[in-house]
């Protein structure tokens, strides 16, 4: 619950912290978010809490029913797929526009993020590196509205990932990321976009070998 510099208002800080908790699964789907309790925890009144709720609602992380309160949004396989398809469509668009503006320095940083992802010891470290990779190659498109939408979709994606993969992370080599970088280095933005599209659409689609413990969902959840 630390204070980040971009927390200009109390409402922004509360929204950020609650979003983190929802994404990391500390707040379960369907859990009620009681404004007075949260206000007490953050040592504020409930007014900024209610403003934070509106932000979470817009991100799709919470559902508000008038007079009935706010709950952590639930989700199902259909929504995992919906978010994956939206990400595929929007990230492809972003990459096509970013293409011309990508520098060798950016691609090197993206390769480093890929290596860190491959070496990640747990799912949280992998997600952080994965998100950094995607953000690095997409940010140069300079389309703020598009990037904001993609960020929200990444939060939803991360939430699905963490809910499915609480333990038992296995290191894996991300061949897709490497193929994307190779294509970008050759200036083949369209080809890179095509690989990126399949890479992200994979989420929620393909069967996945069941993990030890048997509580694994049989669907790919990385990307």
Binding positions for DNA, rule: CB under 7 A: 9-11, 32-37, 39, 43-48, 50-51, 64-70
Q: What is the dihedral of CA 103, 106, 112, 114, to 10 degrees?
A: -100
Binding partner selected for residue 140 from a second copy, DNA, none, CB under the kind-specific 5 to 8 Å limit: none
By three-state DSSP, how is residue 32 classified? strand
Nearest distance from residue 53's CB to a second copy, in Å? 8
Q: Provide CB contacts within 8 A for 68, sequence distance 6+.
A: none
CB of 87 to a second copy, least distance (A): 11
Q: What's the min distance (Å) between Cβ of 23 and a second copy?
A: 16
What is the total residue count of the chain?
223
- By beta-carbon proximity to a second copy, the closer residue of 93 and 107 is 93
Max Cα–Cα distance, the chain, nearest Å: 56
89 binds, among DNA, a second copy, none (CB under 5 to 8 A by kind): a second copy
Quick one: 57 or 112, whose CB is closer to DNA? 57
Q: Which does 103 bind (CB under 5 to 8 A by kind): a second copy, DNA, none?
A: none
> Please, which residue, 39 or 102, has the CB nearer to DNA?
39
* Torsion on CA atoms 89, 197, 139, 1, rounded to nearest 10: 80
68: partner contacted, choices DNA, a second copy, none (Cβ within 5-8 A by kind): DNA
Answer left, alpha or beta for residue 69, where phi above 0 means left and psi between -120 and 50 means alpha: left
Calpha distance 51→32 (Å, rounded): 16
Other beta carbons within 10 angstroms of residue 221's beta carbon come to 20
List the beta bridge partners of residue 65: 69
Count of CB atoms situated within 10 Å of the CB of 214: 6
Backbone phi, then psi, for 44, in 5-degree steps?
Answer: -135, 180
- Per partner kind, with CB cut-offs from 5 to 8 A, the member of a second copy, DNA, none near residue 206 is none
Q: Which residue from 145, 49, 146 is spatially nearest to 95, judged by alpha carbons? A: 146
Residue 145 binding: pick among DNA, a second copy, none (C-beta 5-8 Å cut-off by kind): a second copy
The residues of the shown chain that bind a second copy, judged by CB under 8 A, are: 8-9, 11-12, 47, 50-51, 54-55, 58, 60, 66-67, 79, 82-83, 85-86, 89-90, 92-93, 97, 143-146, 149
């Amino acid at each position: 619950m630390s204070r980040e510099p971009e927390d200009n208002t109390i409402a922004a800080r509360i929204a950020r912290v609650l979003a983190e908790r929802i994404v990391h699964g500390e707040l379960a789907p369907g859990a009620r978010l009681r404004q007075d309790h949260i206000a007490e925890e953050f040592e504020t009144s409930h007014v900024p809490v209610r403003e934070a709720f509106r932000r979470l609602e817009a991100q799709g992380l919470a559902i508000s029913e008038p007079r009935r309160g706010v709950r952590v949004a639930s989700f199902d396989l259909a929504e995992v797929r919906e978010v994956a398809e939206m990400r595929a469509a929007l990230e492809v668009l972003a990459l096509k526009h970013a293409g011309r503006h990508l520098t060798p320095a950016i691609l090197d940083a993206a390769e480093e993020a890929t290596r860190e992802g491959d070496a990640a010891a747990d799912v949280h470290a992998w997600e952080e590196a994965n998100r950094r990779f995607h953000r690095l190659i997409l940010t140069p498109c300079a389309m703020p509205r598009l990037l904001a939408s993609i960020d929200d979709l990444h939060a939803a994606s991360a939430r699905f990932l963490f809910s499915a993969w609480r333990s038992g992370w296995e290191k894996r080599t991300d061949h897709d990321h490497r193929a994307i970088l190779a294509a970008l280095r050759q200036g083949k933005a369209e080809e890179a976009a095509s690989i990126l599209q399949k890479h992200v659409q994979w989420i929620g689609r393909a069967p996945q070998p069941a993990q030890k413990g048997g509580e694994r969902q049989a669907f790919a959840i990385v990307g």
